[in-house]
Amino acid sequence: MEFQKFFLGFAHVSPNLEIQNHVNSSRFKSISFLNLRFYSKRSQIQVNLSSVKINTVPDQETLKSVLEVAKRIAKEAGGLVKSKSGASVLQTKLNSKDLLTQVDKESQELIEARIKEYFPLHRVLGEESVSPGADSSISALSRALNDSKNSPWLWCIDPIDGTINFIHRMPLSAVSIGICYQNQLVIGVIYDPFHDELFYASKNNGAFLNNESNRLILSSNPKPLHDILACTGSPTSLQSIQPVLRAMTALMPSIRTFRLLGSAAIMMAWVAAGRVDCYFEPDLHSWDIAAGAVLLEESGGVLGDLRGSKFDIQTRALIASGSSDIHNKIYTILKDANVTGLDPI
């Protein structure tokens, strides 16, 4: 029997059926996703979810399939964002530095709709679906990581990273899509529609800019402090003002300069591309860092927690560096300046 393969977030079905991703196929008469029933031209095959064995790490063909869809979605959402630059503020969330536009909502709705079209069982954690504030963000991520009964896949999306830049018509915003499998980050896509730059990476496959002929590979050679360009975020709360100021005061006498670009996704992508040497921030959300973390790891960069812990998707006090040499130098200075996260209220 000739059977067209289709991927739904897992790779192998017992006993001998392999399901992979070939979307928009005309070879199917119909697909019922609710009970995972698949039809070929000549007969019906029903897949029992209990018979599906989910590997700890997805195979490379699966990763490539999901990555290609994520790239396509990011570019479509980016086109929407670019076409509506300068949109007015729809809502003030925590404060005047934490804003929402109608385009944030439209971009997230588009991304979520496309994910559901391609991968109906995949879970999604998007910024605009979570109440503002660190506590809400932490709780939402915890729920998402623990709710893996239906699928091991979790998409962490920021529909417009750099909303204030977007509102002010500054061309420094991006669509950010980070994807976890079994709670481990495996795919990262960041699309800057204003410069048409698509940064993407998948686990053990490298990081790239726009196409696979332009691979991002960071140098591990030592770099003197006076040549380092560092980035951080503009403080958005009283708790973050002093840590950022302490960091700048401690680092500025030694490094070349600072930049505050207003988009965590772009700053992480630029570290992966070698344009920026180090980026840190006292408090970030999972959707801010998920995509950039995969880019950094696959380009040879170093990720860490300002508190000294090992980096993972739940890290909030981030330091991302272009090499272990840069990381150790900057982290030591920040630690000595007591820049380990938010200050207590």
Sequence-separated (6 or more) residues with CB below 8 Å from residue 203? 57, 63, 184, 185, 186, 187, 294, 298
Instruction: Report the chain's C-alpha Rg in angstroms.
Output: 21
> Virtual CA dihedral for 326, 232, 299, 334, nearest 10 degrees?
30
The predicted pLDDT at position 23 comes to 37
Question: Positive or negative CA dihedral for 23, 26, 28, 34?
Answer: positive
pTM of structure: 0.82
Decide: 108 and 127 in contact? Cβ < 8 Å.
yes
Strand ranges for the chain from DSSP E = 12-13, 17-18, 31-32, 37-39, 44-46, 52-53, 89-92, 99-101, 123-126, 153-161, 174-181, 184-192, 197-202, 207-209, 211-215, 229-232, 257-259, 278-281, 302-305, 318-321
DSSP tag of 95: S
The predicted pLDDT at position 30 comes to 31
| Nearest to 66, CA basis, from 18, 122, 12, 110 | 122
φ, ψ of residue 39 to 5 degrees: the values are -120, 135
Q: What is the pLDDT along the chain (345 residues), one digit of tens a residue?
A: 333 333 343 333 332 333 333 333 332 323 333 333 333 333 333 333 333 344 557 899 999 999 999 999 999 999 999 998 876 655 554 554 444 678 888 999 999 999 999 999 999 999 888 877 789 999 999 999 999 888 999 999 999 999 899 988 999 999 999 999 999 999 999 999 999 999 999 999 999 999 999 999 999 999 999 999 999 999 988 899 999 999 999 999 999 999 999 999 999 999 999 999 999 999 999 999 999 999 999 999 999 999 999 999 999 999 999 999 999 999 999 999 999 999 997
The predicted pLDDT at position 341 comes to 95
Decide: 89 and 160 in contact? Cβ < 8 Å.
no
Q: Can you read off the two tokens belonging to residue 290?
A: 């998920």
From residue 94, give the alpha-carbon distance in Å to each of 100, 129, 237, 329: 10, 15, 9, 34
